[in-house]
Amino acid sequence: MTSRRTFIQIVPIAGLAMLASQHAIAADVDPKDPQAAALGYVADATKADKAKYPKYAAGQNCASCQLYQGKAGDASGGCPLFAGKTVAAKGWCSAYAKKP
Ligand code: SF4
């Protein structure tokens, strides 16, 4: 019985630890990641491939994109296009959509 009770006590703690570690290890998207490359993601919007993505306009970046989930002032934040990763506030990709 003791081991069962111990198990019941450990499971929620392990779950919380996993959640915490998932949050902690959310790393910035690697621009070389296939999906990032397909979307033309760059960690520095000024380095966006303007020839390939003529819709890019100076001043656009993840922080002003509708899909950006970071808070104002954060260096990086989530983006639903890159689940489990973060994008740089100063980044950009071709799915950019200006916040209303
Ligand atoms: Fe950045 Fe928006 Fe592209 Fe996501 S969709 S990577 S927030 S520009």
- Is the pLDDT at 1 greater than 70? The verdict is no
Neighbour count for residue 56 (Cβ, 10 Å): 20
Residue 96 CB–ligand 1 contact under 6 Å:
yes
Cα(69) to ligand 1 centroid in Å equals 9
The predicted structure's pLDDT at residue 9? 60
Q: Would you state the structure tokens that stand for residue 91, as one six-digit string?
A: 């980044």
Cα(90) to ligand 1 centroid in Å equals 10
Cα(65) to ligand 1 centroid in Å equals 6
Q: Would you state the structure tokens that stand for residue 98, as one six-digit string?
A: 């200006």
Question: What ligand 1 atom has the least distance to the C-alpha of 68?
Answer: 7
The predicted structure's pLDDT at residue 26? 80
Question: What ligand 1 atom has the least distance to the C-alpha of 96?
Answer: 8
Task: Judge whether 71 and 86 are in contact, CB under 8 Å.
Answer: no
pLDDT by residue (tens digit) across 46-63? 999 999 999 999 999 999
pLDDT by residue (tens digit) across 11-30? 554 444 444 444 555 899 99
CA angle 39, 42, 48 (to 5 degrees): 85
Question: What ligand 1 atom has the least distance to the C-alpha of 97?
Answer: 2
Q: CATH number of the domain at 26-88, please?
A: 4.10.490.10
Mean pLDDT of the chain: 85
The predicted structure's pLDDT at residue 69? 97
The predicted structure's pLDDT at residue 91? 98
By CB atoms closer than 10 A (0-12, 13-18, 19+), residue 78 is: middle
